[in-house]
Amino acid sequence: MKVITRSSVLILLAICLPVLSSAGVFMSTDVPRGIRDHQTTTSTLTVPPMVIQDVNVLITTLYHSWMADLVMWITSPQGTTVALYSYYGGSANNMLNTIFDDSATLHISQGWPPFGGSYRPDAPLSAFIGENAGGVWTLYIRDDASWDSGTLEAWGLEINGEVIPEPATLVLVGAGLAAVALLRRRAA
């Protein structure tokens, strides 16, 4: 007689779960946001639950003259903060189609406005690995100098992760495995 055990269910789940990996780009919908002298601009976006394997930050369109006014950082739903950018680019303008990626060859300090392409941020985004991505992410942009201001028009996150199954999914998988075991018992 074959009996399905708790441990065999867990082993089967461990085999099945890595298949449920997910990759997605999540764009903020609360833009445009003004970037004003001596103020901190925030913008948020919401991500579904998944265990983070990699995060890249996409600053798609940010208009600002004299980019050296700015400092940027990002905070995860779990409250982890990673510094992205600090006072680079001198008097030159804008950040367009910029990807902050730990895997980039160049550090952001080696780029020049409008910073098109991939750059490593000030601190590694790997700080987010293993966290649950689910919830509200916040991008902060502080303008520390007078005269030049701008707007954040578009930004997002590119996240690779493993989907966290809903409890209902686990119940269904468990029920399916039990049914298979029952059929095998009847066939035996």
Of 143, 152, 156, 157, which one interacts with Ca ion (CB under 5 A)? 143
Instruction: Give the C-alpha separation, 132 to 8, whole Å.
Output: 26
Of 9, 45, 54, 92, which one interacts with Ca ion (CB under 5 A)? 54
Closest CB to Ca ion among 101 and 131? Answer: 101
Instruction: Give the C-alpha separation, 34 to 42, whole Å.
Output: 9
Interaction of residue 148 with Ca ion, rule CB under 5 A: yes
Stretch that binds Ca ion, among 19-27, 42-50, 105-113, 140-148 (CB under 5 A): 140-148
Closest CB to Ca ion among 31 and 67? Answer: 67
Give 49-79 as a DSSP string: -EEEEEEEEEEEEEEESSGGGEEEEEE-TT-
Could you tell me which residues come within 8 angstroms of residue 49 by beta carbon, excluding any fewer than 6 positions away?
132, 133, 134, 163, 164
Interaction of residue 101 with Ca ion, rule CB under 5 A: yes
Number of residues that bind Ca ion (CB under 5 A): 10
Closest CB to Ca ion among 36 and 184? Answer: 36
Nearest of 28, 21, 54, 24 to residue 137 by alpha carbon: 28
Residues binding Ca ion (CB under 5 A): 37, 54, 56, 69, 101-103, 143, 145, 148
